[in-house]
Amino acid sequence: MTKLLEVRNATIEDAEKIQKFVNKTYSEFDGYPLSAIKSQINSFQEGCFVILLGDEIVAYSASILIDEKKAMVPHTWDEITANGLGTTHQDEGQYLYGYETVVDPKVRGRRLGQRIYNAREQLVKHWHLKGIIFCGRVPNFHKKYKKVKGIKEYIEKVKNKEFKDPVLGFHLRRNFEVIGVMKNYLPSDLESMGYAVHLKWDNPEYDENVESYKKPPMQKSVRVVTVQYQQRSIKSFDEFAEIVEYYVDVAGDYRADFLLFPELFTMQLLSIKNEEVPPDVAMENMTEYTEDVKKLFRTLAMKYNVNIIAGSHPTKVGKSVRNISYICLRDGEIHEQAKIHPTPDEAYWWKIEGGDQVNVIQTDCGPIGVLICYDSEFPELTRHLVNQGIQFLFVPFLTDNRQAYCRVKYCCQARAIENQIYVAMAGNVGNLPRVSNVDIQYAQSCILTPCDFPFAKDGIAAEATPNVEMVSIADLRIDTLLEARSHGAVRNLKDRRHDLYSVVWKKRG
């Protein structure tokens, strides 16, 4: 049976396949990490396309929207694309900027490049954009540079069909106009000797008197509930489940989208036997409840129609124990995020080991990130998540005194400001007298915003009373956040200097 050829928008579910395809096709380059592919799609999914032959990806392209002024001035690939992450996308941009196109060289005669550009042109016309701008490679320049006075003469000879260049020739046949040359656009492109041709295609249907049509209506507001959880002695897992369900029921009644519990709040289960044991033995005992905890929160998330960030729970991973947050979505999916940085006490007393991945979690309210307590004090982790598209960060925490709490709170406030995101925090109160390192608690759970005019004057959307069992609730507007990113008094994301610095996630081992 002949395999069908399909052109469609890329999805997050395609990300792993896209990464393998791109890295295989670009075998001479380092390729993209999975986080970069996810970032490209989350930044502007409508501008990312895949072509499938049957179930196999045979082409991929990524693009963003940028304003005309930014598109026309000299720039590098790193600057215009945020090092390939696509986070420089501007919703109000007038031009589609293509920055990645990968076609399987083994699939010839199918005009895959033409299909990608057809899809891009359809998008431009549908959204009533001015056109397409990008910088194209000239892969044959390294073969001919000794025969010409420079890159401009080379371009003229390709125009006059004296030289053949597969990439530039293709774009000229697509009626792209050469508007300039970019030097050192992509230094790693040795075939083009770092040069790129600045190209533009004007939308023939564009009328400046007609308002542009952009994205379809999105969810404007997300309701977040945080639980400031009271630690108390219990006699059974069923009693624990009953307390937890009470809070999930409350969140369900308030039609919450997200419910956040504190870090290691499940340590309450140690009070069932009420035995004072060495801290590392206590952690080992806690791992026996892992499957019961996951089952409980998955069931409650589906029953009460709320996405639950179930604090964190000690979990056996191979021969080690890790502090893992289970994110139970209301459609039944379960995700996990391990704590990357155990505190010195956790590592010494509890023998907790750190994880090595920070995962973006796709939800029905958009991509989110979870960082457990101490991890929020490392700004690189949040930036890595923001680069992949998150707008909400959830931080379950466990602190025993005000100084420790303030470290977490102030760092979370900084993460909200520097990344222009919402950050929700949830901590424990009360005490567990016979549980080492969890015997006393200090918390003032809160929901934080950037500090700018559209938000609360102190950057706090909701805040609990210190050391009192309660919930905090806030409605967080996505459209307000995006507006602040584009037109706020400060524009931390927009103003990043991608030509000077970046966060690079390394593969462990």
Q: Which two tokens stand for residue 85?
A: 């992450």
- List helix spans (H) across 26-67: 34-43
Active site residue ranges: 263, 339, 373
213-to-217, 243, 246, 252 alpha-carbon distances in Å: 11, 48, 45, 35
Assess contact for 166 and 175: CB atoms under 8 A. no
SS3 label, residue 485:
helix
CA trace torsion 450, 452, 458, 462 (10° rounding) = -50
8-to-3, 78, 115, 119 alpha-carbon distances in Å: 16, 26, 10, 8
Give the integer Cα–Cα distance in Å for 294 and 326.
7
- For 424, counting Cβ atoms within 10 Å of its Cβ (0-12 exposed, 13-18 middle, 19+ buried), the class is buried
**Number of Cα atoms under 13 Å in the Cβ half of residue 469:** 11
Residues paired with 426 in a beta bridge: 396
> Identity (one letter) of the amino acid at 131?
G
Q: What are phi and psi of 151, to 5 degrees?
A: -65, -35
SS3 label, residue 38:
helix
Q: What are phi and psi of 327, to 5 degrees?
A: -105, 110
Nearest residue to 32 (alpha-carbon basis) of 182, 41, 95:
41
Assess contact for 276 and 324: CB atoms under 8 A. no
CB atoms within 10 A of CB 414: 16
Give the integer Cα–Cα distance in Å for 336 and 312.
9
Q: What are phi and psi of 45, to 5 degrees?
A: -60, -35
- Beta-carbon contacts of 32 under 8 Å, excluding residues fewer than 6 positions away, are 19, 22, 23, 84
Query: For the chain, how many helices (H) and strands (E)?
Result: 15, 21
Assess contact for 226 and 412: CB atoms under 8 A. no
- Beta-carbon contacts of 334 under 8 Å, excluding residues fewer than 6 positions away, are 294, 298, 326, 327, 328
Give the integer Cα–Cα distance in Å for 205 and 121.
11
> Identity (one letter) of the amino acid at 88?
T
Q: Enter the DSSP assignment of 374.
A: G
Q: Which two tokens stand for residue 470?
A: 């309660």
